[in-house]
Structure 1
Amino acid sequence: MNHVQHWGEQAQKAVAAILDAHQKTPSSLLPILHDIQDQLGYVPAEAVEEIAAGLNLSRAEVHGVVSFYRHFSTKPRGRHIVEVCCAESCQAVGGRIVEAHAKATLGVDWYQTTRDGEITLEPVYCLGNCACSPSVRVGKQVLGRMTTERFDRLVENLGTVAVEVQ
């Protein structure tokens, strides 16, 4: 995923290419939105206008779909999305401690991104991992039995980039 932090020529070209790729696809709004989200890391307001014009829809129709689906974001997010489960099962066994620790450690609140642009913190309501509560998801990986210590190691590992020395 190539995250673009602001609307500019690069983002505009990416959106145009995505629209062109789906030109002959019926009901292409969702695939277009997914491609834009995956390439840019969010769906910029300017892209909503381009999509609406390209699909002969109103901006309100496109924005309605963007705002309805949780997968889509209208502002840039971090390279890693860390979701902390806030469901009852997780809260009953220390989830609120993990939640408070995550916010304090990252220095952000829900839906905010760390200053370095690496991590966005979001709540999620049940990851289906209740037997191993409390749980956190990073990308597609669900991590159970989360503790403050494990969270610290997780954040440390997210910031670690493997470098091949030749």
Structure 2
Amino acid sequence: MSAYPEWTPSLIQAETDALKHKPGALLPILHAIQDRFGFIPQEAVPIIAAGLSQTRAEVHGVISFYHHFRAAPPGNHVLQVCRAEACQAVGSRALEAHAKARLGVDYHQTTADGEITLEAVYCLGNCACGPSLRLDDSVHGRVTPESFDALVDELRTQPLEIM
């Protein structure tokens, strides 16, 4: 069961219509769709393009350029490991290797049980407390392999909160 509601073309159209009059509307529209549905469905691209009088290639180009945007549904939880230099200096490379091994996935993949999608992020603004990660909307600092394991174990014992 997903933590996000199902998308429909009419809901994509509604998000597009609500924001298309803003300057530089494409990014706010993409963020709104991903925030609401967890990803930007490929089928949304022509709807957004038509609403903004842009080509599908222009919309797709922006989606594929920014690492933040997903083209597939995420797991019930999104776990982002900071890969910025400040976190690397205090052990984020070892943390990311541990995370990949523990979860059995690489970046931009979801665990077999559909619970956790692992992503890289290039700064969480928590540089003094690295290595850092963000789990859903919560930033954690000074993360060790042991504290990482505790976060994952806690996730898997909590009931899923439906958005």
| Range class of TM-score, shorter chain | 0.7 to 0.9
Letter in 1 for 2:4: N
SS in 1 for 2:43: helix
Tell me, yes or no, if the aligned pair for 1:3 and 1:76 is still in contact at 8 Å.
no
- Which residue, 39, 60, 63 being the options, matches 1:66? 63
Cα distance in 2 between the residues matched to 1:42 and 1:150: 28
Q: Distance in 2 between matches of 1:13 and 1:117?
A: 27
RMSD: 2.3
TM-score (structure 1 length as normaliser): 0.80
Shift of 1:114: 1.0
- What do residues 113-158 of structure 1 show as CA deviations (whole Å, max 9, x unaligned)? 1122221111223333232222111133221111111101111222
Spell out the pairing of 1:107-118 with structure 2 (5 A cutoff).
107-118=104-115
- Asked which structure has the greater CA Rg, the reply is 1
| Counterpart check, 1:88 vs 2:85 | yes
Percent identical among aligned pairs is 57
In 2 relative to 1, CA 127–26 (structure 1 residues): closer, same or farther, beyond 3 Å? closer
CA distance in 1, matches of 2:5, 2:98: 27
Specify whether residues 65 and 92 from structure 1 end up closer, same or farther in structure 2 by C-alpha distance, changes over 3 A only: closer
Deviation at 1:159, TM superposition (A): 2.4
Mapped pair 1:159 → 2:156: yes
Question: How many Å separate the matches in 2 of 1:130 and 1:55?
Answer: 38
Q: Compared with structure 1, are the counterparts of its residues 121 and 29 closer, same or farther at alpha carbon in structure 2 (3 Å cutoff)?
A: same
Larger RCO of the pair (alpha carbons < 8 Å, separation 6+): 2
Question: What amino acid is the match of 1:86?
Answer: R
Partners in 1 of 2:151 and 2:94 — Cα distance? 16
> What SS does the aligned partner of 2:28 have?
helix
CA contact 1:86–1:123 (8 Å) conserved in 2: yes
Structure 1 stretch displaced more, 89-98 or 45-54: 89-98
Deviates more, 1:128-137 or 1:103-112: 128-137
Counterpart position of 1:31: 28
Change (3 A) 1:38 1:134: same
The separation in 1 between residues aligned to 2:121 and 2:47, in whole angstroms, is: 31
Normalized against structure 2, the TM-score is what?
A: 0.82
Tell me by how many angstroms 1:80 deviates.
Answer: 1.8
